[in-house]
Amino acid sequence: MTTRPPITVLLASPRGFCAGVDRAIQIVERAITKYGAPVYVRHEIVHNRHVVERLKALGAVFVEELDECPTDRPVVFSAHGVPKSVPAEAKGRKMLFLDATCPLVSKVHVEAERHHDAGREIVLIGHAGHPEVVGTMGQLPDGAIALIETVADARAYAPRDPGNVAFVTQTTLSVDDTAEIVAALRTRFPEIAAPHKEDICYATTNRQEAVKAIAGRADVLLVLGSANSSNSVRLAEVGLRSGARAHLIDDADSLDFAWLEGARVVGVTAGASAPEILVQDVIDRLAERFEVSVEEVDAARETVTFKLPKVLALAGDR
């Protein structure tokens, strides 16, 4: 009988669904229950293939633009937020729409508007084309927000009035990357107005800290998440910087055992839009080849919850 080699799995905690993702998925599920199928969803509700496929099976229809939706069916806006033009168009077409924008993204929208109303020039630290960035920039008139993606962008930014600048950030960025860009902006614009609190959300920060807590001990880090999930990609980057051979995988089927050659300790985590079942599937897959012992490493405790829209709330909801 061949004995399986031992391997230790360091399980990062927290990992997986955050409060904003959980709320967004519940909004789609409850909309289908209340209004029947199909319920349309503008853009992927969250960036995870498994979540999207499960909701499709329940009766969700995912589209990229509002003009793909009939006017007699409900439409849900994704957790990433949308430009102001989208709900305006939905109202104009007399559509029933439900906004699943994460409340922490909405907070960034409010801050951007506050700066604009105060006459400041606004910098958004984020990634071009990401739906959250598109949504935030779409809160204000064209040209009101300048996008900065890199330290080089921060050094090249040329506002009309260097003494009257503010910045906001995409919520799912790496804390470390953003710190470098913010430092470059502060060096150039000492008076720059910063958010009341760091805009990078608690869940992104906590998951990155959890990766740092295990990556130094792990030979290999497996991050469950889809390639278009910004926070999942950032987790893999944090793992690499912390010394682990990090791989972003969709699910257990994406696991390449060649990555584990010579490995004795494997770190496992999941992005904020990845279901916990994917983590368990990876552990089960590892157990096919190894004698697995699991150690959960707690970096933070999360107790945050967000209310659902009143129209979908059940009697027992708070």
Active centre residues (catalytic): 132
What are the strands of the beta sheet with 121-125, ordered from one edge? 145-148, 121-125, 165-169
Q: How far apart are CA 316 and CA 239, in angstroms?
A: 40
Q: Is residue 145 a contact partner of residue 112, using CB atoms and an 8 Å limit?
A: yes
SS3 191: coil
Q: How does DSSP classify residue 192? A: P
Q: How far apart are CA 33 and CA 89, in angstroms?
A: 25
Could you identify the residue written with the tokens 């953003």? Answer: 178
Q: How does DSSP classify residue 144? A: S
- DSSP per-residue letters across 144-213: SEEEE-SHHHHHH---S-TTSEEEEE-TTS-HHHHHHHHHHHHHH-TTPBPPSS-SS-HHHHHHHHHHHH
Q: Is residue 255 a contact partner of residue 282, using CB atoms and an 8 Å limit?
A: yes
Neighbours of 133 (CB within 10 A): 22
CA dihedral 106, 190, 182, 137 (to 10 degrees): 40
